[in-house]
């Protein structure tokens, strides 16, 4: 049987706002004693080898938005604060913090922290990092940090972050990759291009080598503030082929495999390996472009797409029953989630056919559909079965399935099709993050929705924010701007020589793997 480590009750994370939030202590990194945990090691070197479906996108931590890259780079880069596995805020580079007034937060920085190149971590690095991501509109993460007006250096280890307006989720923003700390002195002296070739952070592991689309190798950073890391080396391999990841795990070539196919979960349970299912905030959905001159500009066509998809069949046939149907991208544990849209779906292929006729498509419209392979669990198969379901009600589907890199490039350039399959995780644990992508993904024009999202972004009243996001979900569902499919689970395989427990945010902290 698959080992389960979660329940929906365990996903509940409350948005807590107070005038003073104080933390203390360290991460408690230990010196695990697992003996030779990865096959083929020599000389007693402790190597942890992890296999993922897709490579990282690069080392500019302010310029990407995918969980897979963050899950790896959390081992190299640190934030001011971090979340523990329960989702609660804990100190990281900041030892404690307080809300001075509605638009000002003061952070006391940890002393004695150094970057991997030996430069000391100071308030100047905080100012450089956060003002970069909050001022440069070209950066992918800009939209999540533009709320920061300025960062004031009080002294070497004290900073004040001033926001343009009251900011209800600032702490959440500061606990994710877009707020990763960069070495200001190193970058100013060497240039950003040199940093991208030889990245420097303050995390427990430092950069050794990156072979694109093959592997990233990190080695322990002996001067890490929380103590000497337990692994001598952490290798993250890129293995897009599911069968190859499973084979490598079963033969001892890797210690941990991310995205084990549902059909292989039982096969991975052997004398030496095991499978485990973990929670996520991730929702698989179709983003729908609604601008004019597209068939999907017609709401009847969008409704027909929704009604043509049998989500129950999708979950049972592709995901072996592991998943929950949903009509929202916000799941339990995310602030703003509305239970009225969760565990719900509609399926009516006959009505879908009728809607196409009403929209003037007697012979069915032609729609373009962009999918991916290796970006998320069973993405290629999901795209193919959805295309088939749409064709059964009369659509003509031009499906394009791209590898992870090409998909990211095309999406960043806004050149994806009428429909795009994406699986969104929510590292902010707040509706704000999901809806940052709504307009660029869909090109929607709805003044009420836009006002709701803008007002909720700055609203410090928790109950009012909940109502605003509830109404936003209602509009998105009615308009089918996103067609939500299922809340997905994460499926891992691991060698029993290590101890591994999945996290809700899907981060892979090497120091938590014993």
Report which of 342, 338, 298 is spatially closest to residue 487, judged by C-alpha positions.
342
More confident residue, 450 or 66: 450
DSSP 376: S
Cα angle at 62 between 151 and 484, to 5 degrees?
115
Inform me whether the pLDDT recorded for 25 exceeds 50: no
How many Å separate Cα 31 from the centre of its chain?
A: 29
* pLDDT value, residue 85: 83
**137 falls in which pLDDT band (50, 70, 90)?**
very high
The answer to whether the CB of 81 falls within 8 A of the CB of 126 is: no
- 170 closest CA partner among 144, 188, 195: 144
CA distances from 451 to 440, 443, 472 (A): 16, 15, 10
Q: Please compute the mean of the pLDDT values over residues 82-111 and round it to a whole number.
A: 93
- Residues 430-434 have a mean pLDDT of 90
Q: Starting from the edge strand earliest in sequence, which strands make up the sheet with 205-211, in order?
A: 3-4, 273-278, 490-495, 256-258, 47-52, 233-238, 215-220, 205-211
Residue 264 scores a pLDDT above 70:
yes
Instruction: Assign 43 a pLDDT band (cuts: 50, 70, 90).
Output: low
Q: Which of 430, 443, 331, 351 is nearest to 393 (CA)?
A: 351
DSSP letter at 130 equals H
Half-sphere exposure of 25 (CA within 13 A, CB side): 9
pLDDT score for 164: 93
Work out the average pLDDT over 379-403: 96
CATH 3.10.105.10 fits 283-488, yes or no: yes
Same fold, 11-23+56-201 and 283-488: no
At 474 the pLDDT is 96
Statement: residue 218 has pLDDT above 70: yes
The pLDDT score that the predictor gives to residue 14 is 36
- Predicted confidence at residue 5, as pLDDT, reads 36
Q: Are 483 and 421 in contact (CB under 8 A)?
A: no
> Where are any strands of DSSP class E within 263-308?
273-278, 283-288
Q: Give the span between the Cα atoms of 428 and 334, in whole angstroms.
A: 8
Residues 187-194, mean pLDDT to the nearest whole number:
97
Note whether 38 and 255 are within 8 A (CB).
yes
The mean pLDDT of the chain is 90
Q: Which of 22-26, 241-245, 470-474 has the lowest mean pLDDT?
A: 22-26
Residue 508 pLDDT > 50: yes
Query: pLDDT tier at 40 (50, 70, 90 boundaries)?
Result: very low
Cα Rg for the chain, rounded, in angstroms? 23
Of the chain, the percentage scoring pLDDT greater than 90 comes to 78
Q: Provide mean pLDDT across the span 484-510.
A: 95
Domain ranges of the chain: 11-23+56-201, 283-488
Share of the chain above pLDDT 70, in %: 92
Q: Which range has the worst mean pLDDT, 93-97, 354-358, 457-461, 489-493?
A: 457-461
Dihedral angle over CA of 259, 326, 332, 324, nearest 10: -50
Pick the more confident residue, 216 or 412.
Answer: 216
pLDDT reading at 144 higher than 60: yes
Beta strands 490-495 and 273-278, pairing class: antiparallel
How confident is the model at residue 333, as a pLDDT? Answer: 86
Give residue 394's pLDDT: 97
Give the mean model confidence (pLDDT) for residues 482-491. Answer: 94
pTM score: 0.81
> Which superfamily does CATH assign the domain made up of 11-23+56-201 to?
Dipeptide-binding Protein; Domain 1 (3.90.76.10)
């Amino acid at each position: 049987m698959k080992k389960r480590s979660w329940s929906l009750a365990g996903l509940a994370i409350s948005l807590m706002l107070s005038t003073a939030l104080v933390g203390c202590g360290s991460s408690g990194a230990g010196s695990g004693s697992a003996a030779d945990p990865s096959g083929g090691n020599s000389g007693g070197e402790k190597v942890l080898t992890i296999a993922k479906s897709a490579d990282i996108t690069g080392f500019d931590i302010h310029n990407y938005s995918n969980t897979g890259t963050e899950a790896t780079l959390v081992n190299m880069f640190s934030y001011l604060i971090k979340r523990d596995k329960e989702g609660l805020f804990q100190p990281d580079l900041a030892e404690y913090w307080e809300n001075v007034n509605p638009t000002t937060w003061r952070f006391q920085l940890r002393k004695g922290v150094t970057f991997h190149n030996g430069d000391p971590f100071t308030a100047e690095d905080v100012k450089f990092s956060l003002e970069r991501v909050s001022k440069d509109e070209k950066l992918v993460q800009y939209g999540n940090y533009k709320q920061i007006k300025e960062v004031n250096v009080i002294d070497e280890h004290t900073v004040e972050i001033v926001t343009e307006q009251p900011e209800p989720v600032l702490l959440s923003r500061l606990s994710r990759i877009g707020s990763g700390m960069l070495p200001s002195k190193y970058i100013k002296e060497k240039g950003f291009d040199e940093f991208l070739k030889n990245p420097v952070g303050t995390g427990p592991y430092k950069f050794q080598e990156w072979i694109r689309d093959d592997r990233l190798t990190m080695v322990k950073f002996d001067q890490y503030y929380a103590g000497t890391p337990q692994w001598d080396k952490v290798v993250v391999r890129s293995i897009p082929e599911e069968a190859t990841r499973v084979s490598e795990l079963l033969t001892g070539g890797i210690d941990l495999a991310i995205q084990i196919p549902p059909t292989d979960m039982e096969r991975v349970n052997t004398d030496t390996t095991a499978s485990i299912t973990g929670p996520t905030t991730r929702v698989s959905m179709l983003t729908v472009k609604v601008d004019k001159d597209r068939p999907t500009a017609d709401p009847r066509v969008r409704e027909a797409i929704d009604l043509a998809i049998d989500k129950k069949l999708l979950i049972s046939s592709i995901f072996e029953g592991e998943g929950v149907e949903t009509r929202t991208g916000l799941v339990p544990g995310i602030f703003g989630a509305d239970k009225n849209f969760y565990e719900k779906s509609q399926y009516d292929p006959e009505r879908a056919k009728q809607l196409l006729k009403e929209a003037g498509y007697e012979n069915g419209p032609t729609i373009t559909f962009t999918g991916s392979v290796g970006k998320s669990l069973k993405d290629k198969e999901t795209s193919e079965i959805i295309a088939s379901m749409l064709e059964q009600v009369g659509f003509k589907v031009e499906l394009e399935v791209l590898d992870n890199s090409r998909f990211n490039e095309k999406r960043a350039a806004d050149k994806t099709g009428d429909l795009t399959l994406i699986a969104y995780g929510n590292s902010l644990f707040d509706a704000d993050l999901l809806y940052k992508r709504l307009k660029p993904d869909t090109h929607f024009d709805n003044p009420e929705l836009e006002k709701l999202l803008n007002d909720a972004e700055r609203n410090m009243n928790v109950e009012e924010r909940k109502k605003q996001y509830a109404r936003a979900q209602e509009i998105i569902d009615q308009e089918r701007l996103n067609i939500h499919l299922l809340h997905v689970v994460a499926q891992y395989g691991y060698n029993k020589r290590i101890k591994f427990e999945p996290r809700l945010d899907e981060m892979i902290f090497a120091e938590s793997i014993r």
